[in-house]
Amino acid sequence: MTNRAGRTGTLNEELLRKAATLQEALPYLRRFAGEVFVIKYGGHAMGDDTLAKAFAENIVLLKQVGIHPVIVHGGGPQIGRMLERLKIHSQFVDGLRVTDRETVDIVEMVLSGSINKQIVSAIQLAGGMAIGLSGKDGALIQARKLTRSKADPDSNIERILDLGFVGEPRHINPDIFNAIDLDAVIPVIAPIGVGKNGETFNINADSAAGAIASALGAAKLIMLTDVAGVLDKDGQLLPVLTPRDVLVLRGEGVITGGMIPKIETCLDAVRNGVGAATILDGRVENVILLETFTEHGVGTMIRRDDPADGEGG
Ligand X SMILES: CC(=O)N[C@@H](CCC(=O)OP(=O)(O)O)C(=O)O
Ligand Y SMILES: Nc1ncnc2c1ncn2[C@@H]1O[C@H](COP(=O)(O)OP(=O)(O)O)[C@@H](O)[C@H]1O
Under 8 Å between Cβ of 125 and 203: no
Pick the closer one to ligand X by CB: 28 or 116.
116
For residues 62 and 81, what is the distance between their CA atoms, to the nearest angstrom? 32
Using CB under 6 A, pick the residue from 256, 294, 305, 307 that binds ligand Y. Answer: 256
Is the distance from CB of 193 to CB of 141 less than 8 angstroms? yes
Binding range to ligand Y, per CB under 6 A, among 3-11, 63-71, 165-173, 255-263: 255-263
Between CA 40 and CA 202 the distance in angstroms is 16
* Region binding ligand X by CB under 6 A among candidate stretches 7-15, 74-82, 173-181, 264-272: 74-82
Q: Smallest distance, Å, CB 98 to ligand X? A: 8
Q: Does 292 bind ligand X (CB under 6 A)?
A: no
Local structure of 6: helix, strand or coil: coil
Look at residues 293, 292, 268 and name the one whose alpha carbon lies nearest to residue 39: 292
What single-letter DSSP state applies at residue 233?
T
Distance, C-alpha 283 to centroid of its chain? 13
The residue within the footprint of ligand X, chosen from 169, 191, 210, 229 (CB under 6 A), is 191
Name residues contacting ligand Y, limited to 194-253 (CB under 6 A).
225-227, 230-231
- Check whether 31 is labelled as a binding-site residue: no
Cα Rg, the chain, nearest whole Å: 20
Residue 226 interacts with, from ligand Y, ligand X, none (CB under 5-8 Å by kind)? ligand Y
255 binds ligand Y (CB under 6 A): yes
Of the residues 74, 169, 299, 313, which one makes contact with ligand X according to CB under 6 A: 74
d(CA 265, CA 259): 10
Query: Which residues of the shown chain bind ligand X in the complex (CB under 6 A)?
Result: 42-44, 74-76, 79, 96-97, 107, 166, 191, 202, 204-205, 258
